[in-house]
Structure 1
Amino acid sequence: MIHLKTKEEIEIMRKSALLVSKTLGLMAEMLEPGISTLELDKKAEEFIRDHGGEPGFLGLYDFPNTLCMSPNEQVVHGFPNNDPLREGDIISIDCGVKMNGFYGDHAYTFAVGEVKSEIEQLLKVTKESLYLGIEECKAGNRIGDIGFAIQQHAEKHGYGVVRELVGHGLGRKMHESPEVPNYGKRGRGAKLKEGMVLAIEPMINLGGRSIKQLADGWSIVTADGRYSAHFEHDVAIVDGKPDILSTFDYVEEALEKKGVAIF
């Protein structure tokens, strides 16, 4: 069942989404070669709690951490650990917050120091595909319109679009209906309606689209070992049009201050 939100509920959700955005901004400030993902995870939990929220992922389906930290060939759902990040890595940081009864869920893939030009292009195209998908979030459109826009842009650059993992509805639960695939056909799937809130999250691979799960039961990696990128926004349909509740502004302001390129 799809739960439509009132404008008042959407404004509550915006606060949850923006706390996630601010948390990712803190991660951008701290991220550098040599830091461990577990150190970042601890800081994120502290920051979320200090700002009146609860970590949305911690304990969800028994996940043991605040952040999903997925470096390089890991697509999503990676565990934070004590291994230091290295120059040339990329890292997808996916964060959830629960506040005032509603969730925010938002992700950004960061470059750690200098990365190869082909990786820069992967990050750029994946982020572009997210916004192209968001443009289709209009009342009267279909779920397939979102996936079509994402898939077309990614595949025209030769990238693999992950099929098994999808975006989703968002609200009082982290994962609500409908599912939002990153592939599809125009005019197919559930009709988009006023008050829908969707977490749109393209997961795009530098190589093929195939993935596999590691023995830890969580971490998803590319089958061919090539890098993968992941960006996510929370989007409400308000007055028939997409309203992005989360923002990359905090991340990009932090990166600019550090003199780091934004793709």
Structure 2
Amino acid sequence: MASSVAASISSCFHGEHLSSSRSSLFSRDTLSFSPFISSGNNSNGKKQFLVLAKRLSGLEEAMRIRREREQRTTNPTKRRTPLRRLKVSPRLPVPDHIQKPPYVSTKVLPEISSEFQIHDEEGIERMRAACHLAAKVLEYAGTLVRPSVTTNEIDKAVHQMIIDNGAYPSPLGYGGFPKSVCTSVNECMCHGIPDSRQLQDGDIINIDVTVYLNGYHGDTSKTFFCGNVNDAAKRLVKVTEECMERGIAVCKDGALFRKIGKRISEHAEKFGFGVVERFVGHGVGTVFHSEPLILHHRNEKPGSMVKGQTFTIEPILTLGTTECITWEDNWTTLTRDGSLAAQFEHTILITATGAEILTKC
């Protein structure tokens, strides 16, 4: 599950400074980016509006034009119906013998831990076990994606597989989250709550799985195709996965965290896609979410990676705007313009020479 970072707005369309590097995960405040608009009268007495926006570089402008052209010329298989909240079934039970994370006993959203999670050999082996299970569960969840299946049915199946393996579904009860998995369909950026909506032919869906096994969390997600998906959606999903892979490729002991965002942004811009700034990767281990917060966009975040450290890289890319809105459930976050969003996520372990992907099957 992604962490949420609020960004401040200056005189630019997108703010350049983070208001807090430790803002609460899954922020309760809907964040939007808006241009500042000043008004006045011209010589004819007519109202004028001046929109102040960030100056685009030649490359950024070319990519924007390319993206707009592709969106106009790509014919979807059918017109999508905007998402809306449907019936959410009751929370599923977890057997008493299964170890539960401490936050389950309260609906209060936990603070992000300030401690980096760096493991000894025993801790690394436990992380490998938790991440391997998460990867297997995600792989199984993907086989369930087809038209007419509900996201609630996916949640139920995932829940059962996790508890059958003696683990706890980490999202369940996290800050009051009511389900065992996040299912984010089409324009949903992340944190979609499974409900009675049936998947439709042409949908894309991100399934975000985290398991808590023997005191350690393993966290991973992937965007899947449902039936016949149009070319624009396929391109978005492919590039999003490539962005994650490029971010992972720069990781090793001593590498700067900001290199991750640079690599991801460079690749996304080649295809005219936006990189969502609000949601970030995070440290993961005995604690579900901790420092470091991993920014997927260009940034000047200080700090270097350390051998034995585990964290997630989980970029979200969009076909249109990166602005977002959050439903009243305080979780489900959509693109403001209804354009598609895709996400991929791996938990990685920093080594002396690179990064070991722990959530790979």
TM-score (norm 1): 0.91
**Structure 1 unmatched ranges of 5 or more:** 250-263
User: Match of 1:45?
Assistant: 159
User: Match of 2:311?
Assistant: 198
Of 211, 216, 221, 2:329 maps to 216
Secondary structure of 1:125's aligned partner: helix
Contact 1:194-1:240 within 8 A present in 2 as well: no
User: Match of 1:207?
Assistant: 320
Contact 2:145-2:225 within 8 A present in 1 as well: no
Cα offset for 1:238?
2.0
User: Match of 1:20?
Assistant: 134
Q: Relative contact order, CA 8 A, sep 6+: which one is greater?
A: 1
User: Match of 1:237?
Assistant: 350
User: Match of 1:172?
Assistant: 286
Query: Matched residues, percent identical?
Result: 36
- The alignment status of 1:116 with 2:238, answered yes or no, reads no
Cα offset for 1:188?
4.4
- CA–CA distance in 2 between the matches of 1:156 and 1:209? 16
What root-mean-square deviation, in Å, do the aligned CA atoms of Structure 1 and Structure 2 show? 1.1
Secondary structure of 1:204's aligned partner: strand
Higher percent of residues as helix: 1
- The alignment status of 1:78 with 2:192, answered yes or no, reads yes
Secondary structure of 1:166's aligned partner: strand
Amino acid at match of 2:293: E
Contact 1:145-1:188 within 8 A present in 2 as well: no
User: What are the residue-to-residue correspondences of 1:50-199 with 2, within 5 Å?
Assistant: 50-185=164-299, 188-199=301-312
**Structure 2 unmatched ranges of 5 or more:** 1-114
Amino acid at match of 2:253: A
Secondary structure of 1:118's aligned partner: helix
Amino acid at match of 1:166: V
Structure 1 runs, 4 residues or longer, greater than 3 Å off: none
Deviations for 1:20-74, whole angstroms, at most 9, x for unmatched residues? 1111111122211000000110110000010111101101111110011110000
Deviations for 1:166-202, whole angstroms, at most 9, x for unmatched residues? 00000111101100011124x7421111111011101
Secondary structure of 1:127's aligned partner: helix
Deviations for 1:205-247, whole angstroms, at most 9, x for unmatched residues? 1112211211221111111110000100000012342000001
- CA–CA distance in 2 between the matches of 1:30 and 1:79? 17
- CA–CA distance in 2 between the matches of 1:70 and 1:9? 31
Amino acid at match of 1:183: H
- Number of residues of Structure 1 aligned to a counterpart in Structure 2: 247
Cα offset for 1:152?
1.1
